[in-house]
Structure 1
Amino acid sequence: MKKIRNSTEILSHGEIDSRRIVLEIADRTLERLDSYRRIQGIMRLDGETLHIGTRSWDLSKKRNVYLIGAGKACNHMAMAVDHVLGDRLTYGIAIVKIHEESDRFNKTEVFVGGHPLPNDEGHRASKKIIELVDQAGPDDLFIAVISGGSSALMSCPIEGISLQDEIDTTDVLLKSGAGIYEINAVRRHISALNGGMLAKRIQAVGAELIGFGISDAVGSPATGDIAVPYAAYKSTPIGPDMTTLDDARATIINRNVADRLPRSVVDYLMHAGPEAETPKAFPDNTYFLLNTLPDSCIYAREICEDMGIPAMIVSSFLEGESRDVGTFFASIAREIQTYGNPIKPPCVLLSSGEVTTHISDNSAIKGHGGPGQEMTVGFAIAAEKTKGACLLSIDSEGTDGTAKVAGGITDSSSFKAAAAKGVSLFQALREHSCYEALSSIGSAVFTGNTGTNLCDLNILYVPAPKESE
């Protein structure tokens, strides 16, 4: 398999036939979503003319061409642009989550930022981006590649708020149960770059901006023709921000985190005036939207059809407590296999979105993990009675939570397999150590960078019951 690197281990035990089906669907979906091939498919340089989709630019009229980027899919996105431009690229800065040994750049400097919590290297890179933009002028062109995770990776808090304040703010919000829109509402309004502030800075010096984006926002419509500039592009550092100061304040109040957030952040947001609002429109910029969150389920369904397996998209709006969602999918799998509702087996159920894990007390954490891993552990506990049922849940960019794995895969035999090794899956959920539990039974899924970032991808396969059952 091209994307899932430990498939041999995963297929060495458990419900192997079911696991093989689920892994093939996941692997082929990730391959199709890879942003390197998406960008290379619409971008080429012909002499001094840059072609991107239906648009063209005469680079002989540009003094400098700069590449800037951040996000969990930034490796592949930035490499695609860097490789197309070659020597015509003046300089590039890419802030990635993991720098793979296989990454190859010509004129792009790579920094490893922090995610989900910002770090010093991402902060230094962000300051370099500001310096690069501020010295530019009307004859310069910026090409930006942005994917999910940029809010943490491109970390540059405004004056009066420290990097540590931003780190602490992110940590509190992630563990509060807040959704990504709520978290971004706070983070964007304390940032010098996020929430469209980078685009505003480029606009201020008169330079031109072309943006490539991947939208991992729950509720985004599926992409159409990616060669056509996308007029409704929003949020991230390079587009208009749909969150508001009022949204940020409501998050602090509704999630009851005022006493846990840094005082500098609370005081600023609660007293900031209209001048602190993020920009809401950039009509002169050109944006290309490579993928959106529903695409992963749509592509996966097409792959299932190619494999001859009936498939149903359950939701591309999936949110909630991860372990509970796992339990829910186990109950649906049993309903399918027992009564054929809402679809007859064998079948595949697909979903995407962004489930979360609520951690109210850090002292409860005894290991590593993430929402996808907790979902599959919750599924394993409840799926014993549905023979052959198998669930894969991964963060599509390749890392789930605090573990360097994409997520997990469990089936109806996983609970007994864990117990045989003396591993309590109930305890793993209580102590948020699902990575260790899944690794012990060869059920963690490792991909490395995938080249995309569309939040969670969940694939549930339910086989038909055997006659003896």
Structure 2
Amino acid sequence: MSKIRNLDHLVGLGDAQSRKIVLSVTDRVLARLDGYERIKSIMRLDGDILTIGTRTWDLSTKRNVYLLGAGKACNHMAMAVDEVLGDRLTHGIAIVKVAEETDRFNRTTVHVGGHPIPNEVGYKASREILDLVDSSGPDDLFIAVISGGSSALMSCPIDGITLQDEMDATDVLLKSGAGIYEINAIRRHISQMNGGMLAKRIDAVGAELIGFGISDAIGTPPTTDIGVPYANYASTPIGPDRTTLADARAVIENYDLADRLPASIVTYLTNVGDEGETPKSFPRNTYFLLNTLPDSVRYAKEAAAELGLPAMIVSSFLEGESKDTGTFFASIAREIQTSGNPIAAPCVLVSAGETTTEILDNSLITGSGGPGHELVAAFAIAAASTPGAAMLSIDSEGTDGTTSAAGGLCDSTSYARAREAGVNLHAALRGHATHEALTALGDAVITGNTGTNLCDLNILYVPALDA
């Protein structure tokens, strides 16, 4: 079954052959990245013996086995653990972004938190998790499944900072132009959950922790054998944190946020001492890393090869303004088709990372959208003179920005189709209303939960010019 729910519709628009190639590559990548399948491939229970990759645990020595989860890929990850453990699972709590009708759980309670802005449901679920941890002891085992998005979904600010403060801060940070590492430097240092604070709480009661993670951090190396415990696991609620208080303070200064962030947060981060630093190591914990950001581009290159097409990985470190990135890729497509540089057409270019959209004035917003939407809308404008060029940009977990779509797919015909339909892509970009524009064109990509969360995935196909 295709991961892209509206694949047939998308193929039926514009340049069908180019779209089919881009969608086929994307579909194959998402299937390989699904967290449910990744966990099921290394985890099994035989009687009381739990095996995960190269490690085993005797559950007869454990009083309780708990499942904790948060993130945009949490649905599939938590389902896998819940299914493997069956009746041996005491209780599970998972905080997801979108609950699907196809989700199936036995002993896990699912809460729909807020993302990208935290909400009350996620906060209350986080309080439930902390209460569960505080009531546990050395004979208990926690298995945690964490993916990107956990910082918002598993929201529980420290005393003195309210949920509303964290919500307002998140909104400001996401529109500031700061990168995700910079944003997290602030969010982790005001949280009782994130930046390793949940693991610190588990460690304090003497319980054991096994963590499954999907890392969307730019710069993390590609995975090798996912059944071998990962020694350098970092960040998220269950791992050591690489950001520092100094990093958080630098973000406030570098992006001139002192007067835009809630005063409670600025005051705390300015004045707190070493006691406010996040934990930097958990030597007793066992971590398994299921996927990392470079995996998506590696799988995309392999998928293109399966279709008989040469492919180039442009970058798995992609950052910057989304609409500018779309214009850049359109210029590369034109260069490829005109001169054969840096690779001859027909070819596929793949990239991953996390581009952002700077919004300094909310009054300018006339609709909804996300980085992937804005990237392909800008690509459509600039690629109108490159026949057959097609580009897809999605948030790999299935929802881009504030929308229910994963992102968008535009080709060299999209701009002309937009003008014929009375859709002004320039105005949509100015008003950050690209979701409405792409939906009107039929160019929004719908996946639902994909089971992974590796930031943005960008697939560009450039055909050769007809002789």
Which TM-score tier does this pair reach, normalised by the shorter chain?
over 0.9
Return the TM-score normalized by structure 1. Answer: 0.99
Residues 345-367 of structure 1: CA deviation (Å, up to 9, x unaligned): 00000000000000010011111
Residues 90-137 of structure 1: CA deviation (Å, up to 9, x unaligned): 000000000001000000000000000000000000000000000000
Return the TM-score normalized by structure 2. Answer: 1.00
Alpha-carbon distance in structure 1 between the residues aligned to 2:140 and 2:68: 13
Alpha-carbon distance in structure 1 between the residues aligned to 2:154 and 2:403: 21
Residue 301 of structure 1 corresponds to 301
Residue 114 of structure 1 corresponds to 114
Residue 251 of structure 2 corresponds to 251
Residue 166 of structure 2 corresponds to 166
Residues 183-215 of structure 1: CA deviation (Å, up to 9, x unaligned): 000000000010000000000000000000000
Alpha-carbon distance in structure 1 between the residues aligned to 2:136 and 2:81: 20
Residue 181 of structure 1 corresponds to 181
**The residue matched to 2:198 in structure 1 has which SS?**
helix
Residue 203 of structure 2 corresponds to 203
Amino acid at match of 1:356: T
Residue 136 of structure 2 corresponds to 136
Residue 33 of structure 1 corresponds to 33
Residue 50 of structure 1 corresponds to 50
Residue 241 of structure 2 corresponds to 241
**The residue matched to 2:459 in structure 1 has which SS?**
strand
For residues 367-386 of structure 1, the aligned pairs below 5 Å read 367-386=367-386
Residue 97 of structure 1 corresponds to 97
For residues 34-433 of structure 1, the aligned pairs below 5 Å read 34-433=34-433
Alpha-carbon distance in structure 2 between the residues aligned to 1:224 and 1:8: 34
C-alpha displacement at 1:8, in angstroms? 1.6
Residues 123-167 of structure 1: CA deviation (Å, up to 9, x unaligned): 000000000000000000000000000000000000000000000
**The residue matched to 1:383 in structure 2 has which SS?**
helix
**The residue matched to 2:233 in structure 1 has which SS?**
coil
Alpha-carbon distance in structure 2 between the residues aligned to 1:136 and 1:66: 10
C-alpha displacement at 1:2, in angstroms? 1.7
C-alpha displacement at 1:431, in angstroms? 0.5
Amino acid at match of 1:6: N
Alpha-carbon distance in structure 1 between the residues aligned to 2:34 and 2:57: 25
Residues 284-304 of structure 1: CA deviation (Å, up to 9, x unaligned): 100000000000000111111
C-alpha displacement at 1:9, in angstroms? 1.4
Alpha-carbon distance in structure 2 between the residues aligned to 1:394 and 1:272: 39
CA RMSD in angstroms, aligned pairs only = 0.5
**The residue matched to 1:457 in structure 2 has which SS?**
strand
C-alpha displacement at 1:455, in angstroms? 0.1
Amino acid at match of 1:250: A
Residue 465 of structure 1 corresponds to 465
Amino acid at match of 1:328: F
Alpha-carbon distance in structure 1 between the residues aligned to 2:443 and 2:153: 29
Alpha-carbon distance in structure 1 between the residues aligned to 2:367 and 2:275: 43
**The residue matched to 2:84 in structure 1 has which SS?**
helix
Residue 444 of structure 1 corresponds to 444
For residues 4-43 of structure 1, the aligned pairs below 5 Å read 4-43=4-43
**The residue matched to 2:384 in structure 1 has which SS?**
coil
**The residue matched to 2:291 in structure 1 has which SS?**
strand
Alpha-carbon distance in structure 2 between the residues aligned to 1:343 and 1:232: 35
Amino acid at match of 2:156: C
Alpha-carbon distance in structure 2 between the residues aligned to 1:134 and 1:2: 42
Gaps of at least 5 residues in structure 1 are: none
Alpha-carbon distance in structure 1 between the residues aligned to 2:433 and 2:15: 23
Alpha-carbon distance in structure 2 between the residues aligned to 1:306 and 1:425: 34
C-alpha displacement at 1:307, in angstroms? 1.0
Percent of matched pairs sharing the same residue: 71
**The residue matched to 1:209 in structure 2 has which SS?**
strand
Residues 64-94 of structure 1: CA deviation (Å, up to 9, x unaligned): 0000010000000000000000000000000
**The residue matched to 2:191 in structure 1 has which SS?**
coil
**The residue matched to 1:303 in structure 2 has which SS?**
helix
Alpha-carbon distance in structure 1 between the residues aligned to 2:144 and 2:402: 27
Alpha-carbon distance in structure 2 between the residues aligned to 1:79 and 1:288: 17
Alpha-carbon distance in structure 2 between the residues aligned to 1:434 and 1:117: 20
**The residue matched to 1:338 in structure 2 has which SS?**
helix
Amino acid at match of 2:323: R
Amino acid at match of 2:194: N
Residue 3 of structure 1 corresponds to 3
C-alpha displacement at 1:12, in angstroms? 1.4
C-alpha displacement at 1:168, in angstroms? 0.4
**The residue matched to 1:384 in structure 2 has which SS?**
helix
Alpha-carbon distance in structure 1 between the residues aligned to 2:74 and 2:92: 12
Alpha-carbon distance in structure 2 between the residues aligned to 1:174 and 1:258: 15
